[in-house]
Amino acid sequence: MPNTLFLRLEGPMQSWGERARWGVRDTAPEPTKSGIVGLLACALGLSEDDDLRGLTGHIDIGVRCDRPGRRLVDYHTVSGGVMSAEGKVKRNATTHEPETVVSWRSYLHDASFLVVVQAGEGLIERLAEAVQAPHWPIFLGRESCPPTLPVFAGTGDFASVEAALGAIPLRQMRRALTPMEPSIPSQRVRAVITCLSDGGVRRRDEIDSRSHRTYLPRYTRDIYLSVPVEYI
């Protein structure tokens, strides 16, 4: 019975917010755990806080950065109906016209990630079925970022997240090689895995409450894998 689910996250734009504040909407360099849990929750049709906490507590993830992409920042404006905390339309204090809200939103352009999700017996089969026939549409961090490839990339049984991350070949486009230039059999690729607090980087991407937008800390570390290259 498989204990590992592989997800291929690839598209023109992705955005995995980790420290967004008010008008500045950032993106992490790779998918966050909260973003992956949100993607799986969309596939399963889950939205309640208790369900999301249960899901995040039962999975471990790792992310391989096959193509890190390029960071883009979009200057974004919204006007004519932005609501205040009191439920009223925000208006300019002088003109009393509806207020324009300005934000800077970051994206990863042309990135590709291999995500490993490990869980206990039964859950991986349920997740695999859901991402192939999702309850709600799947997106890459934001609703404006659809995937260009099927997200489901297979299942397997592996002793660790690190072993699973190194098992899937890195797919690359074949280019014309000179007679003296051999094909590259493997490539060194950065990956991010969960670790204990000692020696790890502290991140706040463990979902606590979606309704209140609160997150708990998680610790990660970078590793580098020698991954076999598969030419297409």
Q: pLDDT value at position 81? A: 61
Q: pLDDT value at position 89? A: 74
How does pLDDT run across 31-78, given as a tens digit for each residue? 999 999 999 999 999 999 999 999 999 999 999 999 999 999 988 787
Residue 28 belongs to a domain with what CATH number? 3.30.70.2660
Q: Does any domain span residue 142?
A: yes
Q: Does any domain span residue 101?
A: no
Which residues of the chain are under the pLDDT cut of 70? Answer: 79-85, 174-183
Q: Does any domain span residue 88?
A: no
Rounded to two decimals, what is the model's pTM? 0.87
Q: pLDDT value at position 82? A: 67
Other Cβ atoms within 10 Å of 1 Cβ, number: 9
CA-CA distance, 38 to 207, in Å (whole number)? 9
Residues of the domain holding 26: 4-70+109-231
Phi-psi region of 45 (alpha: psi -120 to 50; beta: other; left: phi over 0): left
Q: Does any domain span residue 30?
A: yes
Number of structural domains (the chain) is 1
Q: pLDDT value at position 95? A: 76
Backbone angles phi, psi at 56, to 5 degrees: -65, -30
Q: Does any domain span residue 35?
A: yes
Q: Does any domain span residue 91?
A: no
Q: Does any domain span residue 179?
A: yes
Output the CA–CA distances (angstroms, integers) from residue 168 to 75, 192, 223, 226, in the order listed.
37, 15, 16, 11
Angle of the 33-44 helix axis to the 123-132 helix axis, nearest 10: 70
